[in-house]
Amino acid sequence: MSESKYREWILDTIDSLRSRKARPDLERICRMVRRRHGSEPERTCAELEKLIQEQTVLKVNYKGSISYRNAAKVQRRSRKKDDVSLATAARRSAMEEASHSDLSNGDSAFGAVDQDEEDLEGDTSMAMDTDSNPDEEGAEESRDGQDRPSPSPACEDATVQCAPVQAVSAPCSPSGSRPSSGPHCSSGSALDCAASQKAGERPNSLPPSSPRALTHNELAYDSAVSPVEGQHPGMQRDKVESKPEDHSGATSPCASTIGKKEAESRVEDSSLSPDQLVPDSIARPDEVRNVSDGRLLKVSLPPENCTFKKINTPFTAAEGGLLNGSAGDEVSVKMEKMNHNLLQWTVADVASYFSAAGFPEQAVAFRTQEIDGKSLLLMQRSDVLTGLSIRLGPALKIYERHVKVLQRTHFLECEDI
């Protein structure tokens, strides 16, 4: 309860600050929430972080300072008129797309899914700053409470980084992790992170070759991309590249496409976040840092923390394997894991998944309906199309490309076993 309440408060606050033309930063958000609802800043802060992890709220570095965005709004700003005229057009297109995907063929080559997602989510470009200025608070006083599990474990599998989706941010502990936060909140974390990040410790992020990355505001791409990235110096990217085979290239544009462009594509993918997402990795540098070089570690993470992993896998496996048909052994292995995990997905995991898949608004509906992994497996087409009260277009995509795929994969998996 309180969670959704907070979500509403925070999103409201962000919207309100935006309409007032004031930067929705941590300080203002906390203050407004406190004023309006009496919640203490710490709590607000903790809830905000959760929302960031779920991507309900996007943390971005804009013009040198951190801002928070309502993901539902940011995400598809390009076509806002949809609502209006959407009746037909959207519908129609949705249908078309859906059908296509259904057949799949098309996808394989390029991963229709991804593409779509890119569209949707693509605009979240992230940017970190190159030289940000520490303006507001550079507080970094407390970072004691970092014991909480968070880093994404899964990260090890950064696997499919390609999927734009995931790249977006680092999901680590959706709900699983309790907000243990106390006072430390991350006040420091948020801000400070940004700072630190820019500071430079980007291990390897992209070589300079990626001017693109910096192109616009300032990309924090590396960080944004994923905590993982930051952590494995060098690895991630390699991994990404190599991994593609797993996906059989179906999905990841990066992989399959042209060799040369790999770099570029990667960059693009990663940068898909719209403004300048500041992933939470930033937010919790501590943890990350611990591990810093070398491997990442994960402290204690319950299964749920692995959202990432779960997310990734499904994508890969599903698309690569099912759609494409050419799954590798590795894939299958992953699939298994993934499926098992599916049963363990919590409501928050499901929501995070859809959020990451480019449907943040719809993710809320899943959460509202309390759909967890098991429920997801039981969902039928009509449930998705009408039971969630979400728009038909996204609903079709969600069902055809995600729900159905996950279910199919899961059951196939079961049969095998």
Return the ∠ at Cα 205 (arms to 261 and 302), rounded to 5°: 110
Which of residues 2, 4, 8, 22 is near DNA by CB under 7 A?
22
Return the ∠ at Cα 75 (arms to 186 and 348), rounded to 5°: 55
First vs last C-alpha separation in the chain:
38
Nearest CB to DNA, comparing residues 136 and 330: 136
Task: Show contacts with DNA in window 217-236 (CB under 7 A).
Answer: 217
For residue 42 the two structure tokens come to 């710490």
Specify burial of residue 111 (Cβ count, 10 A radius: 0-12, 13-18, 19+).
buried
Nearest CB to DNA, comparing residues 280 and 286: 280
Given the rule CB under 7 A, which of 24-32, 154-162, 170-178, 405-413 is the region that contacts DNA? 24-32
Residue 29 touching DNA (CB under 7 A): no
Residue 100 touching DNA (CB under 7 A): no
Which of residues 125, 177, 189, 273 is near DNA by CB under 7 A?
125
Binding mask 361-400 for DNA (x = CB under 7 A): ----------------------------------------
Residue 250 touching DNA (CB under 7 A): no
CB of 355 to DNA, least distance (A): 17
Residue 216 touching DNA (CB under 7 A): yes
CB of 134 to DNA, least distance (A): 13
Residue 212 touching DNA (CB under 7 A): no
The Cα 312–Cα 246 span in angstroms is 11
Nearest CB to DNA, comparing residues 75 and 313: 75
CB of 3 to DNA, least distance (A): 23
The Cα 156–Cα 240 span in angstroms is 11
Residue 21 touching DNA (CB under 7 A): yes
Binding mask 39-68 for DNA (x = CB under 7 A): ---------------------x-xx-x-x-
Residue 32 touching DNA (CB under 7 A): yes
Residue 80 touching DNA (CB under 7 A): yes
Judged by CB under 7 A, how many residues of this single chain contact DNA? 25
CB of 208 to DNA, least distance (A): 18
CB of 32 to DNA, least distance (A): 6
**Footprint on this chain of DNA (rule: CB under 7 A):** 16, 18-24, 31-32, 35, 60, 62-63, 65, 67, 69, 73-74, 77, 80, 125, 215-217
